[in-house]
Structure 1
Amino acid sequence: MHHANRLCEDTLRAIFLPRAREEVCRYYRDFLTVKPQLMCWCMKLVNLRHSPGECSRYLIDFELYPYIGQKVTIAVCRLTFSVKDYDGEIKLESFRQVRSFPVPEHLWDVVCQPF
């Protein structure tokens, strides 16, 4: 069963990676002159739940670790996506930066303003 859970998590990360990259780039565009990077191993599935009712949907929470340069992590972010049960429409429900990390001095030239 553990293998099946891991496979499910890996599949969800692969499916949502392009959309998560878009949201990370959108969030940091006013703070950085470069686009932060995000790879599958920089995503952690935190929660997956079903919200039953008239507009039945699934809510998926990811914790992200975007980086710049040679894998210098700049923050921990939390994203929540919803997926409608009846048509598969994906919507970003929330994006928040949980924690930021200091940018090393050799990368200060890519920082427009503190984040």
Structure 2
Amino acid sequence: MDVYIKNKTIVTNAKIIKSPLKQAIGLMFSKQKNIIFEFKKEKKEFIHMFFVFYPIDLVFLNKNKKVVELKQNFKPFKTYKSKNKAKYILELKKNTIKNNKIKANDNISFKKQ
């Protein structure tokens, strides 16, 4: 899945994860990659970085794929509870938010390759 902001590609080959078990595993013990969590409904989410050995950026999106929250440089072995409800969470390589100037209220879109 490719991810776009303002018709600009910010991520290619991101994997969408819908299964609660696979979401719990997330990036644990993996090499750096971009993933998209899709939840059944919008809610505040708890994210952990247990056994993820590199920092990442988090982008929280509502059901309309509008950015509702950002977390940059989320470090290994930390936890985070979102302040806002989200239907999607993008776990992206570190500095993706900064390099693409992603900000609250931006609209994000996904497209299959």
TM-score by length of 1: 0.32
Higher helix proportion (structure 1 or 2): 1
Higher Rg of the two aligned structures: 1
